[in-house]
Structure 1
Amino acid sequence: MRFRSALSVAAVILLLAGCSTAPSTAPEGPELPANYDLPLAELDLLADPLSFEGPSTAVLAATDVNAPSSPPQQQLPVSVTSHDLDGDVKVTVSSTERILALDIAGSIAATVFGLGFGDSVVGRDTSSTFPQAADLPVVTNGGHSINSEAVLALEPTVVITDGTIGPIDVILQLRDAGIPVVFVSRTPSLDGVGELARDVASALGAPAAGESLAESLAAGLDAKVAEIAAVSPPAPLRMVFLYLRGSAGIYYLFGSESGADELITSLGGRDVAGEMGWTGMRPITDEALVSADPDLILVMTDGLSSVGGVDGLLADKPAIALTAAGQKKRIVDMADGEILSFGPRTADVLDALARAIYAPPVAD
């Protein structure tokens, strides 16, 4: 699935992001579990994940994005195809001395660092919270809206984005100001991780580095999915992903082609929304929730907070309380900029979610 076929998903993400109240700086997150350094197979795994009761939080370690030991080989200027929302255009990139990489999940910035261009990145979006980027100036406001003045002040020589943050007119105004702006593909899938690495590398004039990163990430993802499969139960948990923004009254169920489907299956679960024929992102109905009857619900941390936590969610959406997950309060949350990021940290995201699902901390 290329960028154009994923456009409806990106458009909905962009619309929903406008309702976000994400802060411009990364908040203090929950502490890592004491056994985080152990592999999944050595954790105190639940004997019966289906019967476990209570919520849990997936915590991603604050670790650097792995970068190559030597600078990538690069050839500039380079002419690349920019997948603009209204059609492909050719863009010439002559300098990568000052890079801005912007998207709703922080995946493009993480990819730039993974390719070895981290020292050239001059700013960040609110979702690029990994340690190497944490001290960079933020150029997106709450809700992932680009601040054009902040961008221009950084004098970037190239901007790489994917259409998931905006307003789009502001991004195109940057191009009118003489800044090369490249829209890359970002398919919400495991295969899309490598695709993104190749596209970003091409925009930076370093295709060989992109191929190398794509192969490395694919190997890491394959290994992590296999590791999770070895600890997941023979009868997969029925899972759904809900997008919540209580202040705006937004409750969406994510189905196939949203990224949530691959996330769930990679975690050894059953994507019941996809099995119901649910495609993309659509408003939740009580009938759909009751019909899905998930054993476990995945959500974003800020989204869960916006509805008053687990108890607030069950009060706002009584239909959830009728499901197996609602009755057991089996809700797993993870930071908004991490859970559906699909980039260089995806294997770590899967690992953190697997720990929260199959080996959650048990209260004394």
Structure 2
Amino acid sequence: MPARRASRVVVRFCGGVLSLALLAACSSLGAPATPGRAVAGDGRLECRRPATARSQVTIEPIATDPEPQLPVVYPDITGKPVTVTDASRILALDTYGTLATTVYALGLGDRLVGRDVSTGIPELTHLPLVTHNGHQLNGEAILDLRPSVVLTDYSIGPLEVQLQLRDSGIPVVIMSDRRARDLIGPQIEAVATVLGVPQAGERLAARVRGETDAARARVAELVPADPAHRLRMVFLYLRGNAGVYYWFGEGSGADGLIQDLGGIDVASEAGLKGMRPLNAEGLVKASPDLYLMMTRGLESVGGVDGLMQLPGVADTPAGAHACVVDMSDHQVLSFGPQFPTTLEALAEAIYGEAARP
């Protein structure tokens, strides 16, 4: 794989409203001397080189061993009422790793018996995988774990496996697969309600809202006041080994993330809705300054050098400056309890030295 020029990224917002626990360490260590971005003399942001956004993915549970109040009858997204009588052996499975991360943050991590490939917080990586070939559910592996309840959504499949589990007598709760900042709180509260810990859900949702508001306020301080000077961004979803090349637009979740980062989402600006195959002509016309990606997606095409070989990618301002910011597949679009630290880390990678007052 071609060598990548990634800046050393540490989430440090010294003196700001974010990452207050790091304040003492920041004041003694000082800021890294490798800014990833620069501000041009006219106030316009100028992207210079690639960077990898990294952050602490450990989450502090909102409660210690809460006791679920069951049974719960919950009408899932299909409208079917599902009765949950036992939360001792939980499986929470989706493409983003959001559901299992939420269960852990509620204080029920010790009840999880397996995980999907996208669940990446360190405390859960010891659990057996129940997905294969990427995000495909393995019905046999799931049944072997004897779950007492399964939380899932339509972002993962195949649907036949979810129906098989339900037919076997396991309570299967189909949650919403939409991901956006404004949906984080309701999603946390929905998971908590299903598992019989609604009060823990309310506290966790409130905590995440406060942390997210603080993160957004800090990012807002870094963004040029003039919209014409803001970075034009696009989220690319690539799986080179499978020949999958998409760009994400309105309603994909990436649009809201780019907005929170103070960027202009060029895919939505071009009228793209959801996720669509990457189009070289459309990409060049959209003229992004920065490519936002999942780390494994970037690796799958051979890193930054390989990315530039894809049609149209090099023929944009982002391509001309190799302006690529990647982040862990487990985190960048999860929109769960770790969203505030995701936003912090991406701001650090995008704005570089400007993010360190």
Question: What is the TM-score with the length of structure 1 in the denominator?
Answer: 0.84
CA distance in 2, matches of 1:244, 1:340: 14
- More off after superposition, 206-215 vs 265-274: 206-215
The aligned residue for residue 322 of structure 2 is 329
Residue 88 of structure 1 aligns to a residue in which SS?
A: coil
Alignment-mate amino acid for residue 53 of structure 1: R
The aligned residue for residue 11 of structure 1 is none
Cα distance, 1:320 vs. partner? 1.6
CA contact (8 A) 1:55 1:332 kept: yes
Cα distance, 1:36 vs. partner? 3.4
Cα distance, 1:248 vs. partner? 2.7
Show CA shifts across 1:250-280 (max 9, x none): 2111111000001101111111211121111
CA distance in 1, matches of 2:322, 2:12: 27
CA distance in 1, matches of 2:10, 2:141: 41
Show CA shifts across 1:11-43 (max 9, x none): xxxxxxxxxxxxxxxxxxx99947435438585
**Cα 1:113/1:102, change in 2 over 3 Å:** same
Q: How does 1:60-139 map to 2 (within 5 A)?
A: 60-63=55-58, 65-72=59-66, 74-83=68-77, 87-139=78-130
The aligned residue for residue 180 of structure 2 is 189
CA contact (8 A) 2:91 2:112 kept: yes
- More off after superposition, 151-160 vs 67-76: 67-76
Question: Are residue 156 (structure 1) and residue 147 (structure 2) matched?
Answer: yes
CA distance in 2, matches of 1:273, 1:208: 39
Alignment-mate amino acid for residue 51 of structure 2: S
The aligned residue for residue 156 of structure 2 is 165
Alignment-mate amino acid for residue 267 of structure 2: A
CA distance in 2, matches of 1:132, 1:124: 11
CA distance in 2, matches of 1:225, 1:38: 13
Question: Are residue 311 (structure 1) and residue 305 (structure 2) matched?
Answer: yes
Q: How does 1:1-364 map to 2 (within 5 A)?
A: 33=8, 35-39=10-14, 43=31, 46-48=37-39, 50-63=45-58, 65-72=59-66, 74-83=68-77, 87-234=78-225, 235-317=229-311, 319-359=312-352
Q: What is the percentage of aligned positions where both structures have the same residue? A: 48
Cα distance, 1:284 vs. partner? 1.7
**Cα 1:219/1:311, change in 2 over 3 Å:** same
CA distance in 2, matches of 1:31, 1:356: 10
**Cα 1:173/1:96, change in 2 over 3 Å:** same
- More off after superposition, 274-283 vs 205-214: 205-214
Alignment-mate amino acid for residue 258 of structure 1: S
CA contact (8 A) 1:96 1:158 kept: yes
Cα distance, 1:153 vs. partner? 1.4
CA distance in 2, matches of 1:222, 1:136: 32
CA distance in 1, matches of 2:14, 2:352: 11
CA contact (8 A) 2:6 2:51 kept: no
Residue 47 of structure 2 aligns to a residue in which SS?
A: coil
The aligned residue for residue 21 of structure 2 is none
Cα distance, 1:62 vs. partner? 4.0
Moved over 3 A (4+): 30-47, 69-74
- More off after superposition, 243-252 vs 336-345: 243-252
Show CA shifts across 1:113-142 (max 9, x none): 111111111111111111210111111113
CA contact (8 A) 1:73 1:208 kept: no
The aligned residue for residue 22 of structure 2 is none
**Cα 1:229/1:315, change in 2 over 3 Å:** same
CA contact (8 A) 1:246 1:307 kept: yes
Cα distance, 1:360 vs. partner? 7.1
Show CA shifts across 1:38-74 (max 9, x none): 43858566441733322111113242x2212444353
- More off after superposition, 70-79 vs 201-210: 70-79
Cα distance, 1:163 vs. partner? 1.5
Segments of structure 1 that go 5 or more residues without pairing to the other structure are 1-29
Q: How many residues align?
A: 327
Question: What is the TM-score with the length of structure 2 in the denominator?
Answer: 0.86
CA distance in 2, matches of 1:161, 1:246: 27
CA distance in 2, matches of 1:342, 1:184: 14
Residue 116 of structure 1 aligns to a residue in which SS?
A: helix
CA contact (8 A) 1:79 1:90 kept: yes
CA contact (8 A) 1:40 1:228 kept: no
**Cα 1:286/1:347, change in 2 over 3 Å:** same
